[in-house]
Amino acid sequence: MPNFVTHLECSLTGERYPAGVVHNLSAAGRPLCVRYDLAAVRAALPREALRDRPANLWRYRELLPVRDDANIVSLDETITPLLSAPRLAASFGVEQLLVKDESRLPTGSFKARGMALAVSMARELGLTRLAVPTAGNAGGALAAYAARAGLEATVFMPDDTPIINQKECFLAGAKTWLVNGLITDCGRLVGEGKAQKGWFDVSTLKEPYRLEGKKTMGLELAEQLGWELPDVILYPTGGGTGLIGMAKAFDELAALGWLRHDRRPRFISCQSTGCAPIATAFARGERFATKFEGAATVASGIRVPAAVGDFLILDAVRASGGLALATPEADIPRWMQLAASKEGIALCPETAVCLGALEVLLERGAIRRDERIVIFNTGAAQKYPEAVREQLPRLDLAQPIPWDRI
């Protein structure tokens, strides 16, 4: 398979770096982006050629960085369904609400997309010891893909990370540490230990390839909608790779001439009031976010008080004509219950905040009721037993059954 990567580029300064060697951040301390010869991709790959390809993210092989197929580490990252949600749409009074259900991916979250690429590239570049700070799902995904590749993984997570994330890392054999701090503290530990331990740092946006994996969300969405992008995308934002990756996908698709219109969706970056650095920076008109103090949310995947790609998220949101918004932490269980009870779609708590944002933005008129709206269900609700606190009523078989109350 020919490879179309030309170089890597600092996302802040544009400085160029060679492909095919190990990279973390740029000299300026910012994320690196993979660049492709898109004119050559355009000549080599007619859009129609995708039709006969397997229904997983490797169908976009020409837009991915792996050189040698033998290095691909995969658990079959399936194309995720784009579900219609008419009953949920009706409850918001909107015509078209679509849910891209990323919970179907290996390890139950879209982190699989990023880690499939990061671990494949680690194998290609000869790296054997990988380490990551995680809010939960990234650790689970790294643990699984490292196991699949026979590589060593070390995971640092806050000690109140959802229990399922803790156990999935343990089961997959990652060296897993609970830390009495936040993901930013875990990130510091990886940074401090890496020289001595020989780790490669797989933190969000501190290596270039998780972004390429998450980019495939945007490629898939475009293909599923017949190469016509929706009007609005609501996206739960933590480190921001998903949103930045989708923006990159749409740029690359436009350069390939694959999109039917040049119209881009407005990105709505959704956060919880429990951790809202991006929403705060957006409201203040700032390009770089200030660390959010006292971050606390059941939506653990978006409990990221400081993001190395903050300016990339804010740039992408503003360029799209969208906005960033935090909705009340206390409403998360209610939104989860609404989606599950209306549609049988079990939204993760991260995605639940998108419904809060949708309600507010419809009221404000920032989203019109006749627009095509897409939300990403970034993970499986089943990974968050902590987010639902309701106690179910009990029946005691030693007592008469209260049939009038059943």
Ligand X SMILES: *Cc1c(COP(=O)(O)O)cnc(C)c1O
Between 101 and 252, whose beta carbon lies closer to ligand X? 101
Q: State the minimum distance, in angstroms, from the CB of residue 220 to ligand X.
A: 15
Report d(CA 318, CA 307) in Å as an integer. 17
Is 249 exposed, middle or buried, given 0-12, 13-18 or 19+ CB atoms closer than 10 A? Answer: buried
Q: What angle do CA 377, 58, 310 make, to 5 degrees?
A: 50
- CB 130 within 8 Å of CB 152: yes
- CB 143 within 8 Å of CB 114: no
Q: State the minimum distance, in angstroms, from the CB of residue 366 to ligand X.
A: 21
Query: Around Cβ 313, how many Cβ atoms within 10 Å?
Result: 29
Between 105 and 130, whose beta carbon lies closer to ligand X? 105
Give me the residues that bind ligand X (CB under 6 A), please: 109, 111, 137, 204, 236-242, 301-302, 348, 350, 378-379
Residue type for 189, please? L
Q: State the minimum distance, in angstroms, from the CB of residue 203 to ligand X.
A: 11
Structure tokens at 78: 């399936």
Please enumerate in sequence order all residues whose Cβ is within 8 A of that of 351, keeping only pairs 6 or more positions apart, or say none: 236, 375, 376, 377, 378, 379
**How is the beta sheet containing 32-36 ordered, strand by strand?**
16-17, 5-10, 32-36
Between 19 and 75, whose beta carbon lies closer to ligand X? 75
Q: State the minimum distance, in angstroms, from the CB of residue 405 to ligand X.
A: 37
Q: State the minimum distance, in angstroms, from the CB of residue 388 to ligand X.
A: 15
Please give the residue whose beta carbon sits closest to ligand X in the complex: 301
3-state secondary structure of 327: strand
Between 65 and 242, whose beta carbon lies closer to ligand X? 242
Q: State the minimum distance, in angstroms, from the CB of residue 222 to ligand X.
A: 18
Between 240 and 274, whose beta carbon lies closer to ligand X? 240
Q: State the minimum distance, in angstroms, from the CB of residue 241 to ligand X.
A: 4
Q: Which one-letter DSSP state was computed for residue 381?
A: G
Between 65 and 218, whose beta carbon lies closer to ligand X? 218
Between 264 and 383, whose beta carbon lies closer to ligand X? 383
3-state secondary structure of 272: strand
Please enumerate in sequence order all residues whose Cβ is within 8 A of that of 223, keeping only pairs 6 or more positions apart, or say none: 50
